[in-house]
Every structure is written in C-alpha cells, then in structure tokens.
Amino acid sequence: MARIAIIGGTGLTSLRNLEITGREVVHTPYGEPSGPLTRGVLCEVEVVFLARHGYGHTIPPHRVNYRANLWALKEAGVEQVVAVNAVGGIRGDMTPQRLVIPDQIIDYTWSRNNTFFEEGLTQVVHIDFTRPYCDSLRGILLAAGERAGLDLAAGATYGATQGPRLETAAEIDRLERDGCHIVGMTGMPETALARELELCYASVCVVANWAAGRGEGGITMGDIDRNLKAGMQRVRTLLEAAIPRCVAC
C-alpha cells in the first residue's frame, strides 16, 4: 500500500517516470475529490498522485474540494503528502522559477470548508498549528534538493489568498508587511486539513511570477506558463530524489 501521496498543482497534472498501476475513484462524506487517485510506482516507491485542479486543470482554487481530496488520500492509506503549489514571489530572493519549501503560512481565504471538526463532535477539537508543515518531510525535501544541485529556498511564509484573480499591488504590500514572502491560492485550507487528519504534509512551491507590483510591467499568463514549465522540471527532479527517502520518514 502506498504511504506517500503527491498533490499536483498548476503546471503539474502528471508525473514523468510514474509507472501507473491503476486509478481509483473514491467517494467521500465530503463530496467528490478533484479526480480519481492515480496509483503508481515512482523510483521503485509506490505513490498516489492527485491533480488538485483536476486532470484537465478545470477547477479554480476557491472551488477545489480540499476536504474530499485529503479524506480520499487518508482513506487510501496515505501517511505523507508532498503538495506542489504555484506561487508569486514577494521577497526579492523569491525569483521566478525558484523552488521554495515554506515553513509558515498565513490564511487570507474565506468561505472555504476549512475543517473536518464541525458536526457530531463529543467535544470541541483544536489542532496545534504552530508549525504548519511537517519538519521531517521538509528536511527530506531540502536534503534531496541539495544532493540534486537544486536552488531551494529553505524557508518562507506563504500568504494564502482567495483567488481566482491575482492580487493588487496594494494587497501584496499588505502581505509583505504581514511577513509573507510568497503568495498563492491553494495553501489553505489544505495544509490545516492535512494536520487535522494527522498526515505528514509539506509543500514544494514553484515561483511562477513576481507578485503584483514586484516586477516590471503587468503579469501575463505567457510569463507564468514559461516559468512554470521550467520550474516543474525542477520539481520532478526534486521528487525523484526525495520520494525514495520518504519511506524511511
């Protein structure tokens, strides 16, 4: 049984070198996940792959059924999740195409189903979210990136915004004042839901563009696509270096 799952974000709807062994349609108490779970073997390790936005990339970030996705992975026997997220760079060293392994997150989203602990409780449940990402899994990713010769940012605060529109320059100024280094639309509630299910969860972020007001001129989808194409090649290299070491986590 696969203990490790990879959630692919924008630009990563499939994995190179994944030997697919089957696909599984999972129904959950929280509705339908973004798509079937793809089971396969990557670098001799059994993994489960799920495209967060659907395999045709048709589900916008505010409509992703995060609860169903995480519940389906937990029911499939997954214990560790490596999530891939496309982000904008706020801080000066968060340059397009760079990979970032965040260690903190600030939630600016609203109206998303953001917890499993709502109904039928015997008592109110509060999770410790002081350190939102799994330190051991982050360490594996960082060590694998170093061995693979990748330029990884070893820590950052992810600002999770609602989307699907991109932010204004003033909003990015606010996020920077709040201490955010990167900005994206899919980090929450996914990260918190993983903690509620006691999943070991870490994120690999690909900087797809400078955030609003941080680059020259406007933000174009052409630039984002080009940066994601190059960045996702590095993500695939990182995953192939890290996944074999995750089984010992």
Tell me the pLDDT of the chain (249 aa) as tens digits.
569 999 986 655 456 667 888 889 999 999 999 999 999 888 888 899 999 999 888 999 999 999 999 999 999 999 999 999 999 999 999 999 999 999 999 999 999 999 998 888 788 889 999 999 999 999 999 999 999 999 999 999 999 999 999 999 999 999 999 999 999 999 999 999 999 999 999 999 999 999 999 988 888 889 899 999 899 889 989 999 999 888 655
In CATH terms, 4-246 corresponds, of 3.40.50.300, 3.40.50.11740, 3.40.50.1580, 3.40.50.1820, to 3.40.50.1580
Q: What is the 3-state secondary structure (H, E, C) of the chain?
A: CCCEEEEECCCCCCCCCCEEEEEECCCECCECCCCCEEEEEECCEEEEEEECCCCCCCCCHHHCCHHHHHHHHHHCCCCEEEEEEEEEECCCCCCCCCEECCCEEEECCCCCCCCCCCCCCCCCCCCCCCCCCCHHHHHHHHHHHHHCCCCEECCCEEEECCCCCCCCHHHHHHHHHHCCCEEECCCCCHHHHHHHCCCEEEEEEEEEEECCCCCCCCCCHHHHHHHHHHHHHHHHHHHHHHHHHHCCC
Q: How far apart are CA 126 and CA 130, in angstroms?
A: 12
Q: How far apart are CA 210 and CA 192, in angstroms?
A: 26
**22, 100 Cβ separation under 8 angstroms:** no
Chain position carrying tokens 């995750």: 246
**48, 6 Cβ separation under 8 angstroms:** yes
Q: How far apart are CA 238 and CA 141, in angstroms?
A: 7
Token pair belonging to 39? 């089971």
Kindly report the pTM of this predicted structure: 0.93
